[in-house]
A and B are shown apart, each in its own frame.
Chain A
Amino acid sequence: AQSVTQLGSHVSVSEGALVLLRCNYSSSVPPYLFWYVQYPNQGLQLLLKYTTGATLVKGINGFEAEFKKSETSFHLTKPSAHMSDAAEYFCAVTRGGRRALTFGSGTRLQVQP
């Protein structure tokens, strides 16, 4: 069975600081990995995805993530946090015929002025 673990349910950074949100996965087959963002009272929006090829993936709003097979990780980073980045972030993995996503428990990012 596949699973996703997000370390830290809450992360707080100062505006302009580095953002690092951690995600580890377990999967017996090569996974497809996703990061989604959820703003208050909204649905989930796709930030970025890893399928095959380049292990460093760039997404929207200046975010990027690196797939590290040896560490089974897919951490999300952004060099400089902005107030508008405050939201909840979900890491997810998919495989199998039904194509459904298995989500981590989420990390709420706070950005302090």
Chain B
Amino acid sequence: NAGVTQTPKFRVLKTGQSMTLLCAQDMNHEYMYWYRQDPGMGLRLIHYSVGEGTTAKGEVPDGYNVSRLKKQNFLLGLESAAPSQTSVYFCASSYSADRNQPQHFGDGTRLSIL
């Protein structure tokens, strides 16, 4: 049971390039989330999804887009990368809308924008 898998694990981009981060979960979870982690700031929510075909904005959505075409996958896109988007990105998922359900995290994607 792989849980939450993020690809790639590391990536270096030049300013203005685009890329897509992939998150896949094999736990049949409804809810999926993208967070970014920056030093001294904890994790901040970028976008989230409450089910297949749905997406919504979080705290820091600017510069990112997401898609949830399949229940098990949640994609995070950067259309035109900026140095301010250098961060560690974490995907998470949870089973249901019940707040009692914990979120399960992937191992992260380290992204550097030069």
Contact = CB atoms under 8 A, between A and B. Distances in A.
Contact of A104 (B42, B45, B58, B97): B42
Interface string B25-63: 000000101010000111111001010000010100000
Contacts of A94: 99
B8 interface: no
Contacts of B35: 103
Contacts of A95: 99
Contact size class for A? 20 to 34
Contact of A32 (B4, B42, B97, B100): B100
A104 B106 CA distance: 19
A41 B107 CA distance: 7
B42 A43 contact: no
Interface of A: 4, 9, 32, 34, 36, 41-46, 49, 51, 90, 94-95, 97-106
Contacts, number: 61
Interface of B: 4, 31, 33, 35, 40-45, 48, 50, 56, 58, 90, 92, 94, 97, 99-103, 105-108
A51 B99 contact: yes
A105 B101 CA distance: 22
A9 B102 contact: no
Contact of B99 (A32, A36, A42, A44): A32
Nearest to A105: B42
B94 A99 contact: yes
A49 B99 CA distance: 10
Nearest to A49: B102
Given A41-B107, A102-B45, 6 more contacts: A34-B102, A43-B108, A44-B92, A98-B56, A99-B99, A101-B43
Contacts of A41: 107-108
A15 to B, nearest CB: 27
Given A45-B105, A98-B48, A103 B43 contact: yes
Contacts of B44: 103
For the complex of A and B, the 10 pairs showing the least CB-CB separation, nearest first, are A103-B42, A43-B105, A44-B105, A32-B99, A103-B43, A46-B102, A105-B42, A43-B107, A100-B45, A51-B100
